[in-house]
Amino acid sequence: MNYEPRTMNSTELNCDLGESYGKMTSQYDEIIMPYLSSCNIACGFHSGDPMTIERTIKMALRHDVAIGAHPSFPDLQGFGRRIMHIPQAELTAIVRYQIAALKGMTEALGGTLHHVKPHGALYNFAAKNEAAAQSIIDAVKSIDEKLIVYGLPNSFLQKKAKEAGLYFGKEAFADRRYERDGSLRARTHEGAVIEQAEEVLTQVQMMVKEKQVKTHNGEIIPLEADTICLHSDTQGATNLARQIHEMLTSNGIKIDSIKRS
């Protein structure tokens, strides 16, 4: 399966959505969705329930936004942001279960699952842990080899995706600080999340136009990305989505999802 290469004048803007549960529904998803080219929908293990998942899928289909599964560790209490040391075969089954649920629901509603992006602690753990990365890749490949895997560039997840013949979408973050090695600054550390709109816009522009990012310590490191993520729970995310969209399009940058050719 081939994919259209990214150019200097195009990028993808994605966001983690459907991250509410039961009666605790989010009013932000519907505001953010029109500015996106793809979304990552929680599969129920860190947030999300069947009605929330269905509602978010329908919303994405209305706005022609590519749909991704957003599997996590089974950690509702910790919102999927705590590392869990789970045997490899069990973790594969956990991830497979979540992807299969999202894929089945998306297809039942007339859509096609586009990609898989691990959530939170699973995302960061799989970047540096080879066994966890292999679990995710095994789960994806067993369901659909056309699915794109999103993750950090130069990570174990990218390495394993390449070995398995899966397309890997290199992801960068609009609202997170980076360490010198290109990893995300842990949320437990000060300054991990960027909340000032001007700083977010500056970082996105640097990522897209210059293929670089400034680290927490002020160093400039290379960072090549196919897709830019904005978190829906970042302060002011609804305004940030609009501002990022306007900033990119006004600079001649096309916002669209990674396309199969």
Q: What is the pLDDT of residues 26-73, one digit of tens each?
A: 678 999 999 999 999 999 999 999 999 999 999 999 999 999 999 999
Q: What's the whole-model pTM score?
A: 0.94
Q: What does pLDDT average to over the chain? A: 93
Please check whether residue 122 is in contact with residue 128, taking contact to mean a CB–CB distance below 8 angstroms: no
Q: Does residue 187 surpass a pLDDT of 90?
A: no
Residue with tokens 């602690």: 121
At the second CATH level, the architecture of 10-255 is Alpha-Beta Barrel (3.20)
Q: What is the pLDDT of residues 138-171, one digit of tens each?
A: 999 999 999 999 999 999 999 999 999 999 999 9
The DSSP-derived string for 69-90 is: EE---S-TTTTT-S-----HHH
Helix (H) / strand (E) element for 123: namely helix 120-128
d(CA 52, CA 34): 18
The token pair at 247 is 């900033």
- As a whole number, mean pLDDT of residues 185-209 equals 92
Q: What angle do CA 20, 83, 153 make, to 5 degrees?
A: 90
d(CA 224, CA 253): 15
d(CA 107, CA 184): 33
pLDDT at 234: 84
For the chain, the domains span 10-255
What number of residues does the chain have? 261
